[in-house]
Structure 1
Amino acid sequence: MVGVVNTLAYYALYLLFLTRLPYLAAHALAFFLSMIGSFFLNARFTYRTRPTWRKFLLFPLTNVTNFLVTTVGVYVVVDVLHAGNRFAPLLASAAAIPVTFVVSRMIMLPGTRSAT
């Protein structure tokens, strides 16, 4: 559920920012803001762990791959496939979800191994 909420928040922010910014800037800003929310939602509901500054500062590492995959995906959908910019982030983010989960689990629950 956290992933769904975070994706919906990201997408709503993306559409809002898209009214004033180029699509890549809208994507980056929406991604950054939703990442902050994702940290607290994941700490509380997914991993049931106390958020700490250390985890908060490491958490963006979980999203570097996600950001790169979704940014390249958005670019490919919009500029290579010419499929439009409204739904590009949803298509691109589907590919990055499993990787982000594995890395975030390693940061949020240090010392545990993720079953992949």
Structure 2
Amino acid sequence: MNLWYVFLMQIPGKDFTSTEFFEKWMEKNNLNYAAVASACGIPEDTVREWVSQKDIPKRFLRCLAALASPRKERIRFIEGNQEDGFRFGLSMDDYAKLARKALDAGCSVEELVANAVASLVRSGS
């Protein structure tokens, strides 16, 4: 049985694929549509469609189960090169924090990180 089902079945009287529960779960875990979309490797519009259709496709429950699992590591990996740029993995909690800061700054998470890296480069000169 999928871990996501087990997690959600612990709450009596709840439909574990309902968007009402999904939205409350996102709020409780400080996640937004962009963070969920990024973690599942899908467009943000797809996550918004889940909510508008009032049903979450079961094929995404494994991804959501991974989001529900506690993450202790902070940055799981950093890799990159001059051609492709940097790629790094963050815990969902950390990504959600960056997403909120980016929203407050009026930019994307990518722009926020790029500005922070640029600031580090400038301060090291």
TM-score of the superposition, structure 1-length normalised?
0.26
Q: Highest CA radius of gyration, 1 or 2? A: 2
Higher-helix-fraction structure: 1
